[in-house]
Amino acid sequence: MNARLSSSSIASLVACVMALATPSFARQAPGERALAAPTELQLATLDGPSARSVANAPSAPNASNLTSAPAEPALPPAPFVAGDMKLRLATLAPKDSSVYRVLQEMGEAWKKGTDGKGAETIKLTIHADAAMGGEGDVVKKMRVGQLQSALLTVAGLSDIDPSVTALQNLPMMFRSLDEAAAVREDLEPLIRERFRKQGFELLFLGDLGWVHFFSVKPIVHPDDLKKVKLFTWTGDVKQVDLMKSLGLNPVPLEPTDILVGLQTGLVDAVPMVPFFAQIAQLHDKAKYMLDLDWAPLVGGGVMTKKAWDELSDAQKKLVMESAVKAGHDIITRNRVEAKQSIEAMQKKGLVVTVSPPEVVDEWRRFVEPVYPKLRGELVPADLFDRAVATLERLRKPGGASKQ
């Protein structure tokens, strides 16, 4: 649980989380950073289509088989090799994180090939720690063939197709992570098809748990949130306008300025998942966390359709089967590690404010008026309606069954 990132890595991670500060979604991450030396792994990565899979979680040891490759001024398209496959993957996940460890473990299975003896292996270069820039940069590199796959949050996935916004940009709509997972499972076939039309193969979707508000002073009720200077990142006018319509006081900043903003009083509240808050040491300045399930941080894996089509049927089978296991491993570890992150921050002075049911209802009433503004404008109308219908079905007696 001691994973730490450089300021630019934190910026990339935070920018993806900031979309959850309001019902609207934040587009794209911060400015481009210089390419870091990639890590060469003789492995196959990424996951297959599990509606329950997920990305990112806290610390785990680095694998011993990592070697450093020389830095590249620019990336040419990765070559495809008959039988075997060479691919490049980008992720914001830190090298010390358990999600990275899971990718390494899955890579060992890919390294063995489709017959377990080295036939049709997939060899991948992983660019971790946001080494390839923000998620928008990653998507652009995938489109031109410099990268073939990626682990992305909704901030990046929505640059491919906005359908994924129906899984995340609905604050206070989900009452549990099980509900969020059920909606993902229901919408995943539709989202997958739309991604294919954009030239991408959706490998899996999942979540990294709940986003919470971290603040300098305690936040309990919606009126408390209206009194604080709430971080939002620059460049999204619709998001700022929507926040103001709720009576909030948004302060647009670059993610790299969050800690300075907290220190100087420019902002005094930041929405973030606990693991990233721990990495950024947010609790040093924002000592209060509202234990309110604002929205899930959704992510997933994608591969360019060009690279996917180059895989043999046996390789595709290996990818998908390995992904199901990896996805379950990641989400299981994340659930535990999210609690560990909060506990670790509490030992260093974080104060957690628990929201009783009547206060949770108060927050739901606060955000409900904004839902009609989301439908058709920031979330595709058909996906919005499908998500709402799925939740209504789930909440009926015996409604756990699928349509």
Residue ranges and CATH numbers for the domains of the chain are 7-207+298-339 (3.40.190.170), 213-294+346-394 (3.40.190.170)
| Most trustworthy range by pLDDT among 244-248, 266-270, 299-303, 375-379 | 266-270
Q: Which amino acid is at 103?
A: L
Taking the alpha carbons of 1, 12, 271, 264 in that order, is the dihedral positive or negative? positive
**Is the per-residue pLDDT at 233 higher than 50?**
yes
CA distance 298 to 300: 7
Say what the pLDDT of residue 214 is. 97
pTM value is: 0.79
User: Amino acid identity of 12?
Assistant: S
What dihedral do alpha carbons 9, 12, 13, 17 form, nearest 10°? 160
Pairing between β-strand 122-127 and β-strand 85-91 as defined by DSSP bridges:
parallel
- What percent of the chain lies above the pLDDT cut of 90? 47
User: What pLDDT, on a 0 to 100 scale, did the predictor assign at position 75?
Assistant: 58
Q: Tokens for 196, please give them.
A: 């294919």
pLDDT value of position 106:
77
Taking the CB of residue 323, how many other CB atoms lie within 10 A of it?
Answer: 21
> Per-residue DSSP letters for 47-111?
----TT-----SB-PPPTT-EEPPP-SSPPPPPP-SSSEEEEEEE-S-TTBHHHHHHHHHHHHHH
Q: Which of 10-14, 150-154, 166-170, 231-235 has the highest mean pLDDT?
A: 166-170
Handedness of CA 381, 382, 383, 386 (dihedral sign): positive
Provide mean pLDDT across the span 22-31.
37
At 28 the pLDDT is: 38
Q: Point out the least confidently predicted range of 27-36, 101-110, 157-166.
A: 27-36
Q: Is the pLDDT of residue 29 over 50?
A: no
Helix (H, G, I), strand (E, B) or coil at 374: helix
pLDDT for the residue 172: 96
Helices (H), ranges, 162-287: 177-197, 222-227, 237-245, 258-264, 274-279
What's the pLDDT at 4? 45
Confidence of residue 402 (pLDDT cuts 50, 70, 90): very low
| Residue scoring higher pLDDT (310 or 65) | 310
Instruction: Determine the longest span between alpha carbons in the chain, in angstroms.
Output: 62
Average pLDDT of the segment spanning 376-382: 92
Mean pLDDT, residues 192-215 taken together: 93
Tokens of 201: 């193969």
342 three-state secondary structure: helix
Closest CA to 60 of 90, 91, 100, 93: 100
Task: Decide: 291 and 352 in contact? Cβ < 8 Å.
Answer: yes
